[in-house]
Structure 1
Amino acid sequence: MEIKQLIDDYIHWLKKEITFEKIGEYYEITTPFLNSANDFIQIYVRIDKDTIFFTDDNSEKFYFI
């Protein structure tokens, strides 16, 4: 199998496995990856005009413009 096909398969799997839910003004994104406590890794995203805020516990810590 060629690398392009492996990447395409991985992206397809990842899109299928990631879930999201709107919670208030945030989107909760749940990934198929596990943390050290064996829980799925979740991040929260809020979009405000041209700024995207990222956090892992629903209190803003990171943002990108």
Structure 2
Amino acid sequence: MEKFKIPHVPQTTLKSIRFPNDMIEEIEDAIRGKECTFSAFVIEAVRIALLNLKEDSSQSGE
């Protein structure tokens, strides 16, 4: 059985960004009824985008 570990919550910084209204609606539709916040959705999307950029640059030899 795995031992319980207190999770580490990374430090955060507040950043204000503007989203197009249609994107906000799409995101809110996607997370409706799920245990996910708007911020958590956006953070995960950006995390994946950054990983994709790293993979693309390593494959192109940059």
What is the TM-score of this pair, normalised by structure 1? 0.21
| Greater helix fraction, Structure 1 or Structure 2 | 2
Query: More relative contact order in 1 or in 2 (CA 8 Å, sep 6+)?
Result: 1
Larger Rg: 2
What is the TM-score of this pair, normalised by structure 2? 0.22
| Greater strand fraction, Structure 1 or Structure 2 | 1
